[in-house]
Amino acid sequence: MVEEDGENKDSFDIKSRAIRPLVDAARILSLHHNLRVNNTIARYEKLMEAEPQNRDLFESCANAFKILLQFRTSQGLANNDNGKFVDINSLNKADRLKLKSCFKPIKNVQEAIKTRFRTSQIPQI
């Protein structure tokens, strides 16, 4: 999932490919429950209350989001930029595994949204 060409070739776009899916999922589910919160962590906390049966899912999403923000911040500070792109090759094995572990909650919440809102049944245009 790294960029294949351009200035950021072989770097991972952490914002678009990891952070944004978690932000969007929290927004969609918060809108579904008419929750009035304006940050991703707070949204997942409110979702834990609104759907206690999915507490583990929302907690894992919140934790993944926090980890991803830490990666973005550290990359930004190390590279004196916005941290959007992560050079996977510069990460040690533990950090690569930590980053990889963030994708399970992303996949799980996307599947939950797909099932709940039956997005696979929406006709393609």
User: Tens digit of pLDDT for each residue in 20-69?
Assistant: 999 999 999 999 999 999 999 999 999 999 999 999 999 999 999 999 99
* pTM attached to this predicted model: 0.91
Express each pLDDT in 65-109 by its tens digit.
999 999 999 999 999 999 999 988 889 999 999 999 999 999 999
Q: Which pLDDT band, with edges at 50, 70 and 90, does 122 fall under?
A: confident
Structural tokens at position 69: 């923000």
Domain ranges for the chain? 11-115
> Which CA distances in Å does 26 have to 1, 58, 110, 122?
22, 9, 10, 21
Task: Identify whether the C-beta of residue 41 lies closer than 8 Å to the C-beta of residue 87.
Answer: no
Q: How many CB atoms lie within 10 A of CB 103?
A: 14
Q: Are the beta carbons of 47 and 26 closer than 8 angstroms?
A: yes
> Is a pLDDT exceeding 90 seen at residue 114?
yes
Q: Which residues pair with 86 in a beta bridge?
A: 12
